[in-house]
Structures are given as structure tokens and as C-alpha cells.
Structure 1
Amino acid sequence: MLEQAGAQSIVQGIIDCFFEEEGELVLVDYKTTGVGSEGEFAARRESIRARYAMQIDLYRRALEAATGKHVKEAYLYLTNLGETIEM
């Protein structure tokens, strides 16, 4: 359940991957976003990060609530380029 500005919404999603490292969690979300070449990726890195920021924040909050552990790092992994974006 997500509450913003006094309104509640049900949000559904699936966390692709997380693992524990030194007592804290690392969250990884896989994306098949078509960003083209590596050069295009470099130019669009920030817009990709911004596009998925809310989703990753919700996943982070849900994972912390479900496990009682802190998510210390979160990443997007772009499968088509083999590139990682730290969130």
C-alpha cells in the first residue's frame, strides 16, 4: 500500500534480485530497455535513472519492510548492454 498526499494506492511489482552483503541488502532490477548503442547509453544514463527512480524507491521500501534489513545499494542492470546503473 502506497500513501501519497493522503491518497492510498495498491502497487504491484516483482523484485528481480536481491542479496545480503555484510548484514545489509543489495537490490538489482533487470531492464531490457532499448537504449541503442553504448554511446547512446552514456548520453541517456541520467534519464534512465530518473525514469526508474520511483520504482526502485518503492522496491527498496518494500524489501526493507519485508526483511527488516537496510537496503544499502540498488542497481539497474541493462541486460541488452551488460551495463549497470547505480540508483
Structure 2
Amino acid sequence: MKRKQKRKQINCWIPDEVFEKIELKAARLGMKPSTYGSKILDTWATDDIPLTPIESELAKLLEKEKKKPSTAKQKSAGKAVSSEQI
């Protein structure tokens, strides 16, 4: 027996060129463009893979931050200068 999934619909505007590409790929796979688009979004959300240049750049920056040693101690040490020391 097939289980019903809870689903939500999103509507968004995409450029004609993007729709045409989705339409072509969907047709090659024997799917409707809406079904193919849904699969694209599902994969993006599930795998958390950056798809846009902004997402890719943000992922790189976050990865760099993870690899850096914490500089919080250095910054707080520099701010701990009292007026008597000046």
C-alpha cells in the first residue's frame, strides 16, 4: 500500500530559458517539468549541496572558518588594555 506524503506547494517565477532546460531534461526522463523540478529541489534540500555561486562561496568561507584556530582569545587580549596602561 502506498503511503501518502505530506506535501506543500511552492510557486516561483523562473526565466524562460531555465524552464526550457528543465522541460527538455524532464522530457528525456519521461517526466513532467513540475515533477523534475520537484526532484531537483528535493535533492538540493536533502543533500545540502550548494547550487548557486553565492551558496558555493558561503560554503567555502564557512569551511575556512572551521579550519582556522580560534582568534577570540587574541582579540579579547588586545581589548583588555586599561586607560592606566596608555
Query: What's the TM-score once normalised by structure 2's chain length?
Result: 0.25
Max radius of gyration: which structure?
Answer: 2
Higher relative contact order (CA 8 A, sep 6+): 1
Q: Which has the higher helix share?
A: 2
